[in-house]
Amino acid sequence: MFSGTLFGYELAFKKEGLQIGLLLFTKVAGGVMLMLLLSFTTTITKICMAARWMKIPETLIEVLSFVYRYLFLLIEETETMMSSQRSRLGYVTWFKTVKSFGSLGGMLIIRSITRAENAHIAMVSRGYDGGRVLTVQLTPIAGKDYTMLLSCGILLALLSYFGFFW
């Protein structure tokens, strides 16, 4: 056990608490790594179709596809604005950096709202009423997919039996 004071607060670290904290951290880190692996190896179309197959509400799938689509535009807009700020010496001192980030955030929100309104008007004028955005169908599961699923299940069972996870 370790204890001490930090900014006037008494802190105590116990072995059990640290173990639970480490377990929670590794689970969260593992989940994040799996999500990154999924997003880097699978197209957004297939992710949305798999979500539709898992009966996730259509509204959430639509939001996911729009966020993915407009995220790259937002990143490009941010890079353009930062480049123009750099050319006007916006990041020379610490104070100017903070000020530039503040104005960047404010202008980014304003431009995002304007872009969202323009995109909505354009979509409504083209007849969009909230239906499906992605219409690609997934291929049915083949025999080799079942073999892979079964072998991964057996591997996980063996690792769990030999105490790999605990």
Residue 12 CA to residue 33 CA, distance in Å, equals: 31
- The secondary structure of 27-59, three-state, reads HHHHHHHHHHHHHHHCCHHHHHHHHHHCCCCHH
Domain locations in the chain as residue ranges: 1-41, 57-135, 139-166
- d(CA 113, CA 81) in angstroms, rounded, equals 16
Q: What is the pLDDT of residues 66-123, one digit of tens each?
A: 888 888 889 999 999 999 999 988 888 889 899 999 999 999 999 999 998 998 899 8
3-state SS class at 4: strand
- Residue 94 to residues 19, 45, 100, 147, 155: CA-CA distances in angstroms? 39, 42, 10, 58, 53
**Which sign does the torsion angle of CA 152, 155, 159, 161 carry?**
positive
* pTM tops 0.75, yes or no: no
Residue 151 pLDDT grade (very low, low, confident, very high; cuts 50, 70, 90): very high
50 within 8 A of 69, measured Cβ to Cβ: no
